[in-house]
């Protein structure tokens, strides 16, 4: 894939996000696109957003649980970036700002120290983590019908769209971090449930893997970043009027309403 292709595809995906417009699979038009090309497109897209004045909250991991891999038909964890403008300040999600949003329950890590290198351990991740907190991620793939290949979804910033942060912050040592039960309900009915071990056996493992992936590019996880570790269960499609509530054992709950 040429440098020109990489630049124009990043602009294409960025515009699709801002115009809330579905696009066709890039892979379908560029069968040659590799995972490496896709991360180059993502990097370019992140650069565009930074130029526009947006700030990175942190990188995020995606497709870290079997439930997510199965649902999306993609077999490999990926990363993307969450920006300041994606954080929802109140308790309402507006559909007119989105294409076809889904919600997923996650555990966020807030770092007190940098994490760097290909061989960090879970213990080092926990030691570098100031707090863990619950988060509901809203993913909104820019691709038609939410269908994509692995390179497609990487190029599209791992479907990043919005985030609701919870208000319960715990020190990582205060919880059995792999045994956090979670339920995700819509209009009072449980749609998905699971335990945090669904994320690579332990959600801190998600940061181990992220640090490894970033280290290949000479990058690291930085103190102050808020890092989403990936959906514990499958994601749930949202419609007008939905009242969404998720509960995490030991980490409180998050609730929001979906409006047109
Ligand atoms: C890709 C993003 C996945 C997660 O937590 O697994 C993700 C997608 O499913 O569209 O954010
Ligand atoms: Mg996610």
| Local structure of residue 167 (DSSP, 8 states) | S
Cα–Cα distance measured from residue 76 to residue 252, given in angstroms and rounded to the nearest whole number: 30
Nearest CA residue ID for atom 10, ligand 1: 159
Cα–Cα distance measured from residue 156 to residue 140, given in angstroms and rounded to the nearest whole number: 10
Residue located via tokens 């009915």: 189
Nearest CA residue ID for atom 11, ligand 1: 62
Q: Residue 181 burial by CB count (10 A; 0-12/13-18/19+): exposed, middle or buried?
A: middle
Cα–Cα distance measured from residue 135 to residue 166, given in angstroms and rounded to the nearest whole number: 6
User: Tens digit of pLDDT per residue, the chain (260 long)?
Assistant: 999 899 999 999 999 999 999 999 999 999 999 999 999 999 999 999 999 999 999 999 999 999 999 999 998 999 999 999 999 999 999 999 999 999 999 999 999 999 999 999 999 999 999 999 999 999 999 999 999 999 999 999 999 999 999 999 999 999 999 999 999 999 999 999 999 999 999 999 999 999 999 999 999 999 999 999 999 999 999 999 999 999 999 999 999 999 99
Whole-number Å distance, alpha carbon 62 to ligand 2 midpoint, is 5
Cα–Cα distance measured from residue 260 to residue 258, given in angstroms and rounded to the nearest whole number: 7
Beta carbons of 188 and 158 less than 8 angstroms apart = no
Cα–Cα distance measured from residue 220 to residue 203, given in angstroms and rounded to the nearest whole number: 18
Give the ligand at the shortest distance from the Cα of 76: 1
> Token pair of 82, please?
């969450």
Whole-number Å distance, alpha carbon 68 to ligand 1 midpoint, is 7
> Token pair of 29, please?
């038009």
Query: pLDDT for 4-45, tens place per residue?
Result: 899 999 999 999 999 999 999 999 999 999 999 999 999 999
- At 44 the three-state DSSP class reads helix
Cα–Cα distance measured from residue 109 to residue 115, given in angstroms and rounded to the nearest whole number: 12
Whole-number Å distance, alpha carbon 61 to ligand 2 midpoint, is 7
| Local structure of residue 34 (DSSP, 8 states) | -
pLDDT at 152: 98
The distance of Cα 164 from the centroid of its chain, to the nearest Å, equals 12
Residues 6+ apart with CB under 8 A from 158: 42, 60, 62, 78, 79, 80, 139
> Model pTM greater than 0.95?
yes
Whole-number Å distance, alpha carbon 78 to ligand 2 midpoint, is 10
Give the ligand at the shortest distance from the Cα of 67: 1
Q: What is the largest CA-CA distance in the chain?
A: 50
Ligand 1 pocket (Cβ < 6 Å) reads: 62-63, 68, 72, 104, 137, 139, 141, 153, 158-159, 230-231
């Amino acid at each position: 894939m040429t440098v020109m292709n990489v630049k124009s595809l990043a602009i294409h995906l960025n515009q699709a996000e801002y115009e809330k417009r579905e696009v066709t699979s890039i892979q379908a038009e560029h069968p040659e696109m590799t995972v490496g090309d896709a991360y180059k497109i993502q990097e370019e897209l992140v650069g565009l957003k930074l130029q526009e004045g947006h700030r990175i909250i942190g990188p995020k991991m995606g497709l870290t649980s079997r439930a997510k891999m199965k649902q999306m038909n993609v077999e490999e964890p990926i990363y993307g970036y969450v920006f300041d403008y994606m954080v929802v300040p109140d308790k309402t999600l507006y559909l007119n700002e989105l294409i076809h949003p889904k919600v997923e329950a996650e555990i966020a890590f807030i770092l007190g120290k940098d994490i760097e290198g290909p061989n960090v351990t879970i213990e080092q991740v926990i030691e570098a983590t100031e707090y863990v907190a619950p988060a509901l991620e809203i993913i909104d793939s820019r691709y038609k019908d939410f269908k994509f290949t692995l390179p497609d979804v990487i190029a599209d910033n791992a479907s990043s769209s919005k985030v609701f942060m919870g208000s319960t912050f715990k020190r990582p040592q205060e919880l059995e971090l792999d045994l956090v039960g979670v339920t995700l309900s819509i209009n009072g009915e449980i749609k998905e449930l699971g335990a945090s071990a669904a994320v690579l056996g332990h959600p801190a493992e998600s940061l181990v893997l992220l640090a490894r992936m970033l280290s290949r590019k000479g990058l690291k996880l930085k103190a102050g970043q808020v890092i989403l570790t990936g959906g514990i269960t499958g994601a749930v499609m949202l419609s007008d009027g939905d009242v969404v509530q998720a509960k995490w054992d030991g980490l409180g709950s998050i609730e929001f309403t979906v409006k047109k």
